[in-house]
Amino acid sequence: DNTSKIFSGIIQNGTATSVAYTKKGTGILTLLGANTYTGNTTINGGTIKLGASERIPNTSYLVVYGTFDLAGFSETTGKLDGPGTITSTEIGNLTLTVGDAVFNSQFTGIIQNGSATSLALTKYGGGMLTLSGANTYTGATTINGGTLSVNTLADVGTSSSIGTGSSVSAISMAASTTLIYTGTGHSTNRAITLTGNDITIDASGSGTLSFGGVINGSTFNLTLTGTGTGIESGMFSTSSVSVTKSGTGTWTLSGVRNYTGTTTVSAGILRATTSDVIANTDGPFGNNASGLYLNGGTIQTDVTIFNRPITITANGSGLDAYGSARTVNSPINLATAGTYNLNVGGVNTTGAAGQQLNLTNIISNTTGLLSVTKIGNSTVILSGANTYTGGTTIIAGTLQLGATGVLADAGILILSGGTFSTGSTIGFSETVSKIVLTANSNITLGTGNHILSFAASNDVGWTTNTMLTITGWSGGYDGTSGTVEKIFVGSLSTDITSVQLSQIQFNNGGTNYTATILPTGELVPACKPGITVQPLSVITCAGTGLASFTLTVTGTGLIFQWQEYISSWNDIANGGVYSGATSLTLTITNPSSGMTGYKYRCKVSNTCSPTAISDGNATLTLFINSFTTCGNTLTDCRDGQTYSTKLIDTQCWMSKNLNIGSKIDGALNQTNNNTIEKYCSDGVSNCATYGGLYQWAEAMQYKDNCDNYTLLQPTTPVQGICPTSWHIPTDEEWTTLTTYLSGNSSYWCNSNSTYIAKSMASTSGWGTDGTTCNVGNSQSTNNTSGFNALPAAYRVPSGSFINATYVNLLWSATQNNATSSWTRQLFYNLSTVTRSSTSKELGAEVRCVKN
């Protein structure tokens, strides 16, 4: 209840399996008895106050929502949970001991001295205790078992998850215990006193954990782990220390240490900073003649001198530079049986990571097989006489030679991206085994006389659609031997395949030259032309059309010879339908129908060999304007599209809008450029259904008599963009059509001779309208004339498209004045066909009529 009471009895299970105790109300309950119940102790409200030490059973889980008052006594309990307050209203030096052998707990409340002289916290058992409150207790924090997880750490005197402490040595850790940090970034000067071996500090916060205090102990193994970033700048009180880096995060060791045990990097990054890493000299990695092991993690150097020997004991280990260009003069050796890889270079060059790394000593494998892989966008320079035999791979960035003969002759070079450089200024000679290309890559040649030699590589596969680009060549770009730098693949012209050769190019100031191989095995840039854009297939009209095939090439002194394929490839001579057979562009004038399906290619040659030949896929497709009787299908030979036709009285109309030309953006005006251009309101598929949209001059194809607006009515039919023997209808011809429909009652609606719009409109696609006889009403009864007028958007001069389902707007060849022409319009909400003067800048539909 809400009053204060004293309970001097004993709470026990009795015959029950377990009894739990819950305190409610705002009052204070003082426990005097040595209770033995095994269930939870929950303070839901008010205060439980101790009347003596150890009043709550050691195995009982303590859940605090209110206040737990130690009242000058120490207490041991199991798990500790809740957001409440733990304090003492009496003086004394007290200890709160909590923990569980298995289960984890989380206390988010406050632990404070209250009136006590000092309150200490001891964690025991194998489980994890998480503290996240701004605790102010001043006693020591002891981890006797399991894991303590905190989200704040601070200097002595400042509140944190482990209190304020009364001295820098207020943290104690027993053997095989762990301290985890999960905060946003904190530093602390508190020392750690070890009472056993094998402790772990875990930095898994979103910010950096910085430890500056001394770690005290006689002999211990320290593991630095976590997914975040940690800095250990404090000293060790003993030299009998070994350090292991695990976890995916980054830890930095700074300062001068004298520990003589091993330093092992098993995962993530271990960075050395502030002091050099020298054999038998105190430094961030201690003092050891060797004892530095790469066991799957990465060593990152941020020091001037780094020469302690490194031993590789696991695959995927790495070396990287931090802060600025760094040099590692350590001998690096694999002395373990098996196949291993060493990554060199940083993952990226953002911030201070991934800087230039100079490896000046020998990388070797006295046992096993070691390969080296260049990763990240940085530059790594090799200058030691390396003997590793597993080969070298470049994935990203630059791997640069710093001396002659730094790669083992027996190792292959795999180019999987990035750049292989023979030197930033003066180039160095190098001999390696085979060369393999698996991704777009570069070889950059330094200056001066040097030779890059690869073994014959015609028996290894290269990844298709990849290119090796060689830059820095100072010889001739004419298929002759290099004058200064030379590259060899084997010693014969057959030591690289023709396919591999096609994947190599020399770049000279932005111009790429294909590669060729000399009889000596030397790779050189050829003066052979390169075809960069292949000729495209063409569709045109049989007997009357014009077809052109062209290509884009590189090279000098080019000679062209076009060929046609019927049953075999044969050279074409100028004459007949052909012209330009020995030029960049082949033109075919009035091809006969029997030529449909012919394929064309071009052989391009010069004084170099071999000849470049286009792919031979350019095909000529021919159509005939196949039309005999109105009602049959018309095939437009210009693009092979087909159109249904309809005889209405004496006029033969297309019953589908014209769709000829190449789509351009609606924001552009169509121009007189020998290419028919069209607008499509919602992509090419929309044009396939509703036809293209054309400005008036484009539809007329810029005929002189159409440009002269004083001649308003054409004197002869204007073909415009219509197929041969078809033309753009005049205003008079439109009137002939509508007059005929108005004169025949079968096309009327509700016996009204002016209501003929439905007879011309398509049976679907229009906006819905509720008025009888309007086009949008009962659309299934439309199109009795077979004209099939489709609703389509039209393009306004601003470049946008409007009224997609509301209107059908069709050009005539008759002008009204200099800026407008007569059109016919059908609206979804009208029953009549409208004659209107329309701006020539609009994009409207075209319906052709037979001559």
Q: Give residue 609's pLDDT.
A: 61
662/798 same-domain check: yes
Q: Give residue 707's pLDDT.
A: 52
680/819 same-domain check: yes
Q: Domain residues for 545?
A: 531-623
717/597 same-domain check: no
Examine residue 229 and state whether it is found in any structural domain, yes or no.
no
Examine residue 760 and state whether it is found in any structural domain, yes or no.
yes
606/686 same-domain check: no
Question: Residue 314: pLDDT above 90?
Answer: yes
657/608 same-domain check: no
Examine residue 20 and state whether it is found in any structural domain, yes or no.
no
Mean pLDDT of the chain: 92
706/767 same-domain check: yes
596/661 same-domain check: no
Tell me the C-alpha to C-alpha distance, in Å, between residue 111 and each of 27, 160, 187. Answer: 20, 10, 21
The answer for residues whose C-beta is within 8 angstroms of residue 637's C-beta and 6 or more apart is: 540, 541, 542, 544, 545, 622, 623, 624, 625, 723, 724
Q: How many domains does the chain have?
A: 2
Is residue 349 very low, low, confident or very high in pLDDT (cuts 50, 70, 90)? Answer: very low
716/608 same-domain check: no
Q: Which element (helix H / strand E) includes 803?
A: none
Number of C-beta neighbours around residue 780 at 10 A: 7
Looking from the CA of 190 toward its CB, the CA atoms found within 13 Å total 32
Q: What is the mean pLDDT of residues 74-94?
A: 96
Is residue 732 very low, low, confident or very high in pLDDT (cuts 50, 70, 90)? Answer: very high
pLDDT tens per residue, range 821-838: 999 999 999 999 999 999
Examine residue 782 and state whether it is found in any structural domain, yes or no.
yes
605/673 same-domain check: no
Tell me the C-alpha to C-alpha distance, in Å, between residue 273 and each of 200, 322, 360. Answer: 21, 9, 20
750/616 same-domain check: no
Number of C-beta neighbours around residue 342 at 10 A: 24
Examine residue 791 and state whether it is found in any structural domain, yes or no.
yes
pLDDT tens per residue, range 796-816: 999 999 887 888 899 999 999
Examine residue 281 and state whether it is found in any structural domain, yes or no.
no
pLDDT tens per residue, range 13-54: 989 999 999 999 999 999 999 999 999 999 999 999 999 999
690/600 same-domain check: no
Percent over 90 (pLDDT), the chain: 80
Q: Give residue 289's pLDDT.
A: 87
Tell me the C-alpha to C-alpha distance, in Å, between residue 669 and each of 679, 795, 798. Answer: 10, 11, 10
670/813 same-domain check: yes
Provide the sign of the torsion angle of the four alpha carbons 357, 363, 368, 371, taken in this order: positive
Round the CA-based radius of gyration of the chain to a whole number and report it. 44
Question: Residue 708: pLDDT above 60?
Answer: no
> What own/partner pairs with CB < 8 Å and gap ≥ 24 does 701-706 have?
701/676, 702/672, 706/813, 706/815
